[in-house]
Amino acid sequence: MIKHVHVIGAGLAGLSAAVRLTAAGIAVTVHEATRQAGGRCRSYDDAATGMHIDNGTHLLLSGNHAAVDYLKAIGITPDFAPANFRFVDGATGESWILRMGDGSLPTWIFDAGSRVPRTSILDYLKLAPLLLGRTDRPLREVLDRDSELYRRLLDPLMVAALNIDTPSGSSRLAAQIARETLMRGGQACRPLVFERGLSTAFVEPALALLSARGATVRFEHELEGLTFADSGSVTLRFRDEEITLGDEAAVILAVPAYAATALVPGLDAPDQFRSIINFHYDCAPPANSPFMTGVIGRTVEWIFAFKNRISATISHADRLLTLPRQDLAATVWGEIADILDMDGPLPKWQLVRERRATFAATPQQNARRPGPKTRWPNVILAGDWTDTGLPATIEGAIRSGRNAAELLSNR
């Protein structure tokens, strides 16, 4: 029986594992390399602008059940908005609201006033091969890229959900996203963005709960290596100490793929990544600005109108990484001002480039994802890059942590 688990990494996968393990009465020590928990899903005070910002604006949908359960377990009640999504077509200036209603089936596709303008019900029915396909193929082989539905909905959705150029994306991952959200109607597509910051929702309440349950979280405590003895025993090597796992102890490696492959010999894992760029402008949006706007055919992809700031996201952004920051911030601001109908100079801004935001969600990379078990029974893997069936998302990370914890607590 496992009595003590060392969780390496205090991202959402590690926190989710730790919350689950402590609920089962198992002692937990979390070791985090940096000074802060949250990993790729974190908030901080930005000294340059004085804003409290997230590394990236994250969107959760009501169909992300593991994430909702996790939030409830740490005492947060998620408050989802209605499933209405505003889009602007940068080429034509046309704007519309996709209204998914609140049912449990995607009945909105039958209503011309709710679905994407200039699409017909037939366009949606043509998605059957995506949903029914058995093999994982690049989306270019499955989607009709000449259709308005592709240009106005599927492409922006897939770029955001998979963080990849849509044609190269994995059909299996896209289909799973569709099954868990779009196919379940507006009820599963209600959005939630975290006005008060990601850490307030996902991280701080989890740390408080772990502390109340007697778990220890050690910051700036990087796992530098693992030693696997011929006898089967495993030793965790930190800068200041070594811990050899006894029969009743285990480790969950909830670190990114590139960190896990450096720690575990012979581990196959995704080795290609894609970036996301986030922009934060110190400027209150005009009254009545839609909270979220999807933008088609411009540089900016999503605009978020927070109470006192405007944020924007560009996914699959590797092509923009070498551009001067100031130019990029000014270009995106110009587009935002146009779309939200604002005047005025460029406000104070911050731009966050997450170079390895997610693994590249192609069929080839998806095939490299391992399950939670390793050759060593007391070394378990977690993280958004493990084989969760989902792309790298909050839901996938939290699910992976929960599954890793369950493997150990059921032992």
Ligand X SMILES: Cc1cc2nc3c(=O)[nH]c(=O)nc-3n(C[C@H](O)[C@H](O)[C@H](O)COP(=O)(O)OP(=O)(O)OC[C@H]3O[C@@H](n4cnc5c(N)ncnc54)[C@H](O)[C@@H]3O)c2cc1C
Q: Which stretch binds ligand X (CB under 6 A): 37-45, 229-237, 239-247, 365-373?
A: 37-45
DSSP 212-240: HTT-EEETT--EEEEEE-TTS-EEEEESS
278: contact with ligand X by CB under 6 A: yes
The enclosing H or E element of 50 equals none
Give the up-direction half-sphere exposure of residue 408: CA atoms within 13 A in the CB hemisphere.
Answer: 38
Minimum CB–partner distance for residue 392 and ligand X (Å): 4
Instruction: Map the footprint of ligand X across residues 39-68, applying CB under 6 A.
Output: 39-41, 55-56, 58-59
Choice between 154 and 263, CB closer to ligand X: 263
Residue 222 within binding range of ligand X, rule CB under 6 A: yes
User: Is residue 294 a contact residue for ligand X (CB under 6 A)?
Assistant: no
CB 382, CB 373: distance < 8 Å:
no
Nearer to ligand X, 9 or 363 (CB): 9
Count, residues near ligand X per rule CB under 6 A? 36
Question: Is the Cβ of residue 88 or residue 217 nearer to ligand X in the bound state?
Answer: 217
Contact indicator for 87, 94 with CB cutoff of 8 Å: no
Query: Does residue 393 belong to the site contacting ligand X (CB under 6 A)?
Result: yes
Q: How far is the CB of 51 from ligand X (least distance, A)?
A: 16
Residues 335-346, buried b or exposed e (16+ Cβ, 10 A)?
bbbebbeeeeee
Measured from the CB atom, the residue of 152 and 280 that comes closer to ligand X is 280
119 or 163: whose CB is closer to ligand X? 163
Q: Choose which of 127, 257, 394, 404 interacts with ligand X (CB under 6 A).
A: 394
Binding mask 360-389 for ligand X (x = CB under 6 A): -----------------------xx-----
Q: Count other C-beta atoms under 10 Å from residue 178's C-beta.
A: 19
Q: How far apart are the first and last CA of the chain?
A: 6
What is the number of alpha carbons within 13 Å of residue 341 lying toward its C-beta? 7
Helix (H, G, I), strand (E, B) or coil at 107: helix
**Of 118 and 237, which has the nearer Cβ to ligand X?**
237
- Rounded CA-CA distance 177/162 in Å is 9
Nearest to 253 by CA among 19, 32, 36: 32
Contact region for ligand X (CB under 6 A) — 86-94, 207-215, 291-299, 393-401?
Answer: 393-401
Is residue 405 a contact partner of residue 25, using CB atoms and an 8 Å limit?
Answer: no
Residue closer to ligand X, measured from CB, 127 or 357: 357
Using CB under 6 A, list all residues that contact ligand X.
Answer: 8-14, 31-34, 39-41, 55-56, 58-59, 222-223, 254-256, 259, 276, 278, 354, 357-358, 383-384, 392-395, 397
